[in-house]
């Protein structure tokens, strides 16, 4: 059978309204995620287009993270018979997304195949060139995909070049080069987006078993994952958030609490993970969310990631009264040279001490995210961090190896050691939640630290934490 090109696939879908879309969340075969949290990107995309596309549309989500490793992907594709397949991928999932793309090509050669998510955003040419996907979306995909579907409904694609009229898309052009439309800046406020958690309704015949969230925290009830904002106002050198989110958008407090109530009433959810990049970057808004949750009187618990420079005791007291049980802070290191290399505030360590005491006094636990193998770091840096841990005694820690993920400003300061170069399935900064303190592959080095020294430093911090009675 001759290969079907993008123009032909567009023509086939363009000739009639798309009726079925299948969205797929990959699973890692190296570091299985164990269904730790909702696939919020796909959930949000599914609920958004299902509500706003003004034509009948069957949307399904296949989350491979809640399936056994031998799950038959091809059979599900055949059974759902989609016109369009959309796959998402963070960097370590990129090889598995490509595998899904190949399966789609074999099972449904006429279907349009989309790729989106973080890695597609920062490495669009890399993901599109193998030929397993027709089109990719950069950044937040909801408004981009909706405009694409509306153009399909209007039969606008008589030639692939018409894709360039839609901001936020890329594809492999006729000359073999990657073609890009202009960048999209999302315009709709998040209050006009449907609740992402309603994406649970689109899972294809799957038993919902999201049991682990917030990394090492486990609950017996079904937890829920949601966000109260997108994007971050800060620009740390180890973070690629600004690549994904062009602007910062906040949800109204009443909208956030409404989604919590929805999950509590409809899914019996009592434990929540607020997955914002920085939950407390607008302290007054978080206070209002807490006040509204207190008024609801729901018997819930929640955790979230926060910055240490929000030194507001009232905020933490209100949050704990509303159900907060843990705040995770990006401490990274106690060496000022390392913090400077990561473009962290010079007052960060003093803020850590104060924020940790505020959280403790409010009645919640503090968790420190730490990294080893950073730019400018030596083994003496880790000794400084170990002494800092001994002094502050956070209830929990997570010690990651610093990884040069595409899109992070410090990408050229850390080297991935061969033979793992660009074998992204190994590019995990940490073990899965089932073994948070297990050894890591010796994958990275810096001019100042070998792979073995990086792991030694990591184990030093872990043993220090366990030595003062810290929790796993």
d(CA 345, CA 217): 28
* List of long-range contacts for 100-108, beta carbons under 8 Å, 24+ apart: 100/24, 100/26, 100/73, 101/130, 101/132, 101/133, 102/132, 103/73, 103/74, 103/77, 104/77, 104/132, 105/132, 106/74, 107/74, 107/77, 107/78, 108/77, 108/78, 108/81, 108/82
Summarize the confidence of residues 57-79 as an average pLDDT.
92
Query: How confident is the model over 94-148, as pLDDT tens digits?
Result: 999 999 999 999 999 999 999 999 999 999 999 999 999 999 999 999 999 999 9
Query: How confident is the model over 406-439, as pLDDT tens digits?
Result: 989 898 899 999 888 888 999 988 887 677 888 8
Query: How confident is the model over 166-186, as pLDDT tens digits?
Result: 999 999 887 888 999 999 999
The torsion angles phi and psi of 194, rounded to 5 degrees, stand at -65, 160
Mean pLDDT across the chain: 91
Instruction: Say what the pLDDT of residue 218 is.
Output: 56
Closest CA to 406 of 418, 394, 414, 397: 414
Instruction: Say what the pLDDT of residue 216 is.
Output: 44
Full 3-state SS string of 57-118: CEEEEEEHHHCCCCCCHHHHHHHHCCCEEEEECCHHHHHHHHHHHHHHHHHCCCCEEEEECH
For residue 390, is pLDDT > 90? Answer: yes
For residue 276, is pLDDT > 90? Answer: yes
Instruction: Say what the pLDDT of residue 428 is.
Output: 87
Task: Note the pTM of the prediction, 2 decimals.
Answer: 0.94
Summarize the confidence of residues 352-356 as an average pLDDT.
97
Instruction: Let me know: does 280 contact 306? Beta carbons within 8 Å.
Output: yes
Summarize the confidence of residues 52-62 as an average pLDDT.
95
Instruction: Say what the pLDDT of residue 471 is.
Output: 87
Helix (H) or strand (E) holding 34: none
The CA-atom distances, in angstroms, between 147 and each of 23, 43, 50, 81, 156 are 17, 18, 13, 23, 11
Instruction: Say what the pLDDT of residue 413 is.
Output: 92
- Domains of the chain in start order, with CATH, are 6-180 (3.40.50.2300), 211-467 (3.20.20.70)
**Percent of the chain's residues with pLDDT above 70:** 95
d(CA 462, CA 113): 43
Spell out where 191-300 has E strands: 212-213, 217-218, 223-226, 229-230, 249-250, 271-274
Summarize the confidence of residues 244-259 as an average pLDDT.
95
SS3 367: strand
> Measured at the alpha carbon of residue 241, what is the angle toward residues 225 and 310, in degrees to the nearest 5?
75
| Least confident stretch, 3-12, 13-22, 36-45, 255-264 | 3-12
The CA-atom distances, in angstroms, between 11 and each of 152, 229, 411 are 10, 38, 40
> Which residues make Cβ contacts (< 8 Å) with residue 79, sequence separation at least 6?
none
Under DSSP, the state recorded for 203 is B
SS3 416: strand
d(CA 377, CA 88): 34
């Amino acid at each position: 059978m001759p290969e079907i090109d993008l123009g032909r696939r567009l023509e086939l879908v363009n000739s009639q309204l798309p009726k079925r879309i299948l969205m797929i969340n990959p699973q890692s075969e190296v570091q299985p995620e164990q269904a730790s949290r909702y696939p919020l990107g796909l959930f949000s995309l599914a609920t958004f287009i299902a509500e706003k596309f003004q034509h009948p549309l069957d949307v399904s989500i296949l989350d491979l993270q809640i399936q056994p490793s031998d799950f038959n992907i091809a059979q599900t594709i055949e059974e759902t018979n989609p016109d369009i397949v959309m796959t998402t991928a963070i960097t370590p999932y990129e090889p598995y997304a490509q595998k899904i793309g190949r399966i789609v090509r074999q099972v449904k050669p006429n279907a349009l195949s989309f790729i989106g998510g973080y890695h597609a955003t920062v490495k669009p040419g890399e993901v599109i060139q193998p030929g397993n996907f027709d089109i990719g979306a950069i950044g937040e995909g909801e408004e981009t995909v909706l405009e694409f579907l509306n153009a399909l409904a209007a039969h606008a694609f008589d030639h692939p070049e018409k894709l360039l009229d839609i901001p936020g898309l890329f594809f492999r052009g006729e000359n073999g080069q990657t073609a890009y439309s202009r960048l999209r800046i999302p315009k709709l406020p998040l209050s006009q987006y449907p609740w992402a958690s309603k994406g649970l309704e689109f899972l294809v015949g799957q038993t919902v078993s999201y049991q682990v969230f917030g990394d090492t925290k486990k609950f017996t009830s079904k937890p829920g994952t949601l966000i109260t904002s997108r994007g971050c106002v800060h620009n740390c050198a180890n973070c690629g958030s600004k690549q994904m989110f062009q602007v910062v958008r906040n949800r109204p407090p009443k909208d956030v609490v409404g989604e919590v109530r929805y999950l509590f009433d409809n899914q019996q959810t009592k434990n929540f993970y607020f997955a914002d990049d920085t939950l407390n970057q607008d302290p007054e808004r978080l206070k209002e969310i807490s006040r509204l949750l207190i008024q609801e009187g729901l018997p819930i618990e929640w955790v979230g990631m926060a910055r240490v420079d929000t030194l507001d005791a009232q905020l933490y007291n209100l949050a704990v009264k509303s159900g907060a049980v843990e705040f995770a802070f990006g401490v990274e290191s106690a060496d000022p040279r390392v913090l400077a290399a990561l473009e962290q505030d010079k007052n960060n360590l003093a803020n850590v001490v104060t924020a940790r005491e505020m959280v403790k006094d409010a009645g919640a636990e503090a968790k420190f995210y730490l990294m080893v193998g950073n730019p400018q770091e030596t083994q003496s840096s880790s000794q400084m961090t170990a002494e800092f841990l001994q002094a502050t005694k956070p209830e929990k820690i997570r010690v990651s190896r610093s990884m040069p993920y595409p899109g992070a400003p410090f990408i050229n300061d850390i080297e991935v050691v061969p033979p793992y170069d660009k074998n992204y399935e190994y590019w995990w900064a940490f073990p899965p939640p089932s073994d948070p303190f297990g050894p890591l592959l010796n994958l990275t080095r810096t001019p100042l630290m070998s792979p073995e020294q990086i792991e030694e430093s990591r184990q030093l911090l872990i043993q220090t934490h366990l030595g003062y009675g810290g929790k796993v």
